[in-house]
Structure 1
Amino acid sequence: MSIAVEHIATDQPPDDSKARDLDYGWQSGNRVQLLENGEAYFPAVFEAMRDAQREILLETFILFEDKVGHELQGILIEAAQRGVKVVVSLDGFGCGELSPAFLRELAEAGVIVQMFDPASKTLGIRTNWFRRLHRKIVVVDASVAFIGGINFSADHLGDFGPEAKQDYAVQIIGPAVADLHHFALAQSGRQVRARRGWRRRQQRPSPWADEHGDGMVRLIYRDNIQHRDDIEEAYIHALSQARQRVVIANAYFFPGYRLLREIRNAARRGVQVQLIMQGQPDVLLAKLAARMLYDYLLKDGVVIHEYCQRPLHGKVALVDDEWSTVGSSNLDPLSLALNLEANVLIRDRAFNQQLYQSLEALARDHCQTMPAKRKPRLWLWRLTVGFLVFHVMRHFPALASWLPAHKPRLKPIESPAHDV
């Protein structure tokens, strides 16, 4: 049977004059809940989807055909069959191994499936490495949203074993959901209303919003057109304002010079700065790259922990006792200069404290702390390589901009047997 699986490749909003430049401000009155690992995330997301009445929008970098992927598939199929509009946007690299049968079952049930930048293998190797759709966003009925770093795969559950990932996401209920809903619609190629009308529409009572929260939330994202540096600039601004503490837990840490300097400067002026890095990495190169920066940071008082229980996949940070961020963006060249990413900024003291307690327990119980005064072997080699790596890192965003950016296009594919 022939079905249509849409293939989308877009680095910018669709050509809609009312949604061309999406720039979101702070929204007050939100309830924000921290979801740690798949044990908290999947039940919350799946419950919201099972209760959906009108619409499910989902973006993810990775969806595997494992127990999590099959449960998600069943929920989406059931929702579509009862009349819920379901739009699923997948990355062509991260979801490139999904079988035609898996996609066919979704499409036959009425799920709108979209693949970002699909590409066939060349000599058995995938070539679509760069400019990935790396966001992880779910919005249900425009009334509850989820965003973070957790993919739909079983390796985010503890029973996966030693390779299970440590990660974070948030559930949001309140006015900020309208921004996430509008953004997800625009990025998926759906038609969206002008901002004024869409905001007004969201004021209707929601079954999820039985009480208002106190959190202020702002959606930020990076694309390769008009919002290349928004996430990086948000980090830099928050760090420049830090007065008490900074905690950053990030799986792939190799930031640009300006961000690295702001971390060091915060420590120099007496801010307690803690970084939580990968000690048991799923990508060895990530650990080696991060360690190139240790001496630069340690000498100015930054405390560096390496999480050793299992791979760290988190992308979270907090500054002082109010500001936090959770999302999909790592602090490495891929996320800061190439990938399509989305984070939320949160101003909420209770949430900040909850995240701080979680990260503090992680650092205390499952990390090793790097000594402040290390005596590296082969110091001349390390100095030379570190100098080269440091300056490559400093200029990487400019170099990466030379790579060709994707052009917006929607290409219907008639057969699920297409190799994606």
Structure 2
Amino acid sequence: MPGGKSKKTLYTIHNKASLISGGKGYFDRLEQLINTAKQTIHLQTYIYDDDETGNKIAEALMAAAKRGVGVYMLLDGYASQHLSSVFINMLKDAGIHFSFFEPLLRSKNYYFGRRLHYKVVVADAACCLVGGRNISNRYNDMPGTPAWLDWAVYTEGEVATGIQDVCIKRWNNHCGKAERITATAMPVYKVEDECHIRIRVNDWVNRKTEVLQAYMQMFATAQEEMIVMSSYFWPGKKLVSKMADAANRGVHVKLVLASISDVKLAKYAERYMYRWLFKKNIEIYEYNKNVLHGKIAVCDKKWVTIGSYNVNNISARASVELNLDIMNEAFAATTHKQLSDIINTDCALVTSAIYGKEYNFFEQLFQQAAFILLNIIFFVFTFYFRRRRKHAA
């Protein structure tokens, strides 16, 4: 491929990428990104808590705003609605531009359940963090309490310009006219390294299903192995079919799922699917060291997708999600090793025999009921009269 960006693949080429798994490592890098920003910071996330972690990041953001950096915060209007007016006014008084994405009910937009689920921070169109961590103590390593298992990727280079464009468009779509901003030319941040990265957005209402299509493509093209980690696993029929096809042609499919879940109904429903997965010779590993919140997959040690997207119908059709696809063998090898180490040391293999001993007839019946109930809840809270004719990134 030629230098710059390939129109065919949408991959940017000149980038650096590093994988971050720990809570402290993530928030240390986030503070560094904020503290070194010179012109702009965009932070868009699902959950922002007014706790030790949230306050520390807020202090860094306010300091950046006071030194003249344009700071823009867009938080989900449901998951972050608990923030007090005192906290929000403190941010605004420091010069931070603040807005919520979609109040809980917006009937004129034809839906009830759409949420801003992605977790993105980009500075100066030069460096960014994309992953699954919210801004909260739960996602940080606190004294005596390790962070939930999650992932992020820190990148420098061309892809950061695209991430900033996505953030500006999202901001302009969900703030008042007076707060709208225009992308300005930024100094080109040159990276000599080559690491192919593309931005994938899922926003079903606006006819974007790029992350779902990436997973479909992964399963369709995998030749040897697929490892998928998902905190809430509940795939739709099309992806289920691709998974089955991959397993049938001999691809070694490994799913790393939660043993300890913060959403118990979802876990019961997820386990209902295990019997089908066993029949397709798909391996199931339950992570039992802590709460699993990560969303990441690696295909044939060559291709990684990482971000906010869970392999379920909510991410596919109800939430706004953002992942990065990284096509780089060194990065994929690192990711594969870390996932394999977790499988080997912190997970329990669930087989059909183990499942049958662990859950009796009535427990399996309850799992089925949970699966049915989850589908009903999904239908009620994500009912769309129609998808929009035009889409916005």
1:348 corresponds, among 328, 339, 343, to 328
Counterpart of 1:345 in 2: which secondary structure?
strand
- State the partner residue of 2:121: 138
1:72 corresponds, among 57, 64, 73, to 57
Task: Give distance in 2, aligned partners of 1:341 and 1:115.
Answer: 16
- One-letter amino acid of the structure 1 residue matched with residue 43 of structure 2: L
1:89 corresponds, among 74, 77, 81, to 74
Task: Give distance in 2, aligned partners of 1:63 and 1:185.
Answer: 19
Task: Give distance in 1, aligned partners of 2:199 and 2:78.
Answer: 25
Task: Give distance in 2, aligned partners of 1:278 and 1:251.
Answer: 6
What are the residue-to-residue correspondences of 1:5-404 with 2, within 5 Å?
A: 25-119=10-104, 130-159=113-142, 164-189=147-172, 190-192=180-182, 201=185, 204-206=187-189, 209=190, 211-373=191-353, 374-375=355-356, 382=364, 386=368, 389=371, 400-402=382-384
Larger helix fraction of residues: 2
Deviation for aligned residue 1:318 = 0.8
Task: Give distance in 1, aligned partners of 2:280 and 2:270.
Answer: 16
Q: Percent identity?
A: 27
- State the partner residue of 1:8: none
Distance 1:381 1:165, change over 3 A: closer
Unaligned residue ranges in structure 1 (runs of 5+): 1-22, 121-127, 409-420
Distance 1:388 1:147, change over 3 A: closer
Distance 1:150 1:403, change over 3 A: farther
Unaligned residue ranges in structure 2 (runs of 5+): 1-7, 106-110, 173-179
- One-letter amino acid of the structure 2 residue matched with residue 147 of structure 1: V
Task: Give distance in 1, aligned partners of 2:30 and 2:266.
Answer: 30
Task: Give distance in 2, aligned partners of 1:235 and 1:30.
Answer: 22
Deviation for aligned residue 1:158 = 3.2
**What's the CA shift string for 1:343-363, capped at 9, x where partnerless?**
111101111111111111111
Deviation for aligned residue 1:105 = 0.9
Task: Give distance in 1, aligned partners of 2:56 and 2:321.
Answer: 25
Task: Give distance in 1, aligned partners of 2:366 and 2:102.
Answer: 38
Deviation for aligned residue 1:163 = 7.6
Task: Give distance in 2, aligned partners of 1:50 and 1:148.
Answer: 20
Q: Which has the higher contact order (CA 8 A, sep 6+)?
A: 1
Task: Give distance in 2, aligned partners of 1:383 and 1:264.
Answer: 24
- State the partner residue of 2:5: none
Counterpart of 2:154 in 1: which secondary structure?
strand
Counterpart of 1:270 in 2: which secondary structure?
coil
Distance 1:257 1:383, change over 3 A: farther
- One-letter amino acid of the structure 2 residue matched with residue 80 of structure 1: A
Cα RMSD, aligned residues only:
3.1
Task: Give distance in 2, aligned partners of 1:360 and 1:343.
Answer: 21
Deviation for aligned residue 1:162 = 5.9
The answer on whether the counterparts of 1:27 and 1:217 sit within 8 Å (CA) in structure 2 is yes
Counterpart of 1:310 in 2: which secondary structure?
strand
The answer on whether the counterparts of 2:121 and 2:130 sit within 8 Å (CA) in structure 1 is yes
Q: What TM-score results when the alignment is normalised by the length of structure 2? A: 0.85
The answer on whether the counterparts of 1:89 and 1:188 sit within 8 Å (CA) in structure 2 is yes
Q: What TM-score results when the alignment is normalised by the length of structure 1? A: 0.80
Distance 1:260 1:94, change over 3 A: same
Task: Give distance in 1, aligned partners of 2:294 and 2:228.
Answer: 9
**How many residues are aligned here?**
369
The answer on whether the counterparts of 1:333 and 1:397 sit within 8 Å (CA) in structure 2 is no
- One-letter amino acid of the structure 2 residue matched with residue 69 of structure 1: G
Task: Give distance in 2, aligned partners of 1:259 and 1:237.
Answer: 10
Counterpart of 1:170 in 2: which secondary structure?
strand
- One-letter amino acid of the structure 2 residue matched with residue 92 of structure 1: G
Task: Give distance in 2, aligned partners of 1:65 and 1:300.
Answer: 45
